Structure 1
Amino acid sequence: MPSFDIVSKTDLAEVDNALGNIVREIGTRFDFKGSKCEITRKDNDLTILADDQLKLDQMHELLKVHFTRRKIDPSALDYKTVEKATGASVRQVITVKQGIPQDVAKTITRAVKDAKMKVQVAIQGDELRVTGKKRDDLQEAIALVRGLKIEQPLQFENFRD
């Protein structure tokens, strides 16, 4: 039976490469001279420490640019609330999304069922398996899921005939 998987994975090695590029750029840019701005990663969490809100916004821009250069979708970042740190500096934790959350999986499943397609969608942990009798039905399902407005990068893999 033909099938494929819908997953959401972010390559953490590429994230590390992008962060290395950001650190180098911060070290050479004139507007960051003398500032104590830094960005670190621990597991799936990035921590940004910036002198003020303006520098934090500039670092968000650097994140988007360097993630795009490394072919990482910036929508894989989940920005948490900005916290006050020592003095006037600010800190923000950003989570790199891995896996499809339960509510997003249910949204995708409901959309496919509402479209009355000849495929079945099964939730398997943090990924989805879509099976159908014809390859064309599976390709229609991929087109439908791509058309949904989901705030997370999705990949389609393990396409089997």
Structure 2
Amino acid sequence: MNRFTAPTFSFALLAVIVTLQGCAVPQPYVPQTPTATEVRPPVAPATTVGNEVAIRAISLLGSPYEWGGNGPTTFDCSGLVRFIHDQLGILVPRTAAEQYSAATPVDVDEIEPGDLLFFKIKGRISHVAIYAGEGRFVHAPQTGRSVELRMLDDDFYAPRLAGAGRLF
């Protein structure tokens, strides 16, 4: 004889459902304290003015060169520098030579992202670039070429590097 009746079955089924429902209730989050052997991800460095200058310069790669261009869509070398610094509230002279005179000198071996690199072409300071880090700089080279990234050891620019400076 089967002792399992419909009311008993319903009660047993309800008990199972209630028990399983308890498993679905989310538990409160308790942060775990890392042990000494766990590796933590590196913390990103705080954004500095120099890093912001470099990031903004990199964001303009590919923008067209135009003599006298000072943004927002076309640039010459000093116009690029001035445009980026102006966005950050830093007043900057217009020409590469004026920027060279206004900049606080920085030893080329100690340049940091956002520093300016000045080049002597045809015997005078006539070109400026923004150091982007890792041996690279961003500049607006000449008519027919866009804002580009170059290496410090570039065959044309390396021997013409006259100095470095900072405007922030």
Q: Name the one with the larger helix percent.
A: 1
TM (norm. structure 2) is: 0.21
Relative to the length of structure 1, the TM-score reads 0.22
Structure showing the higher strand proportion among its residues: 1
| Larger RCO: 1 or 2 (CA < 8 Å, sep 6+) | 1
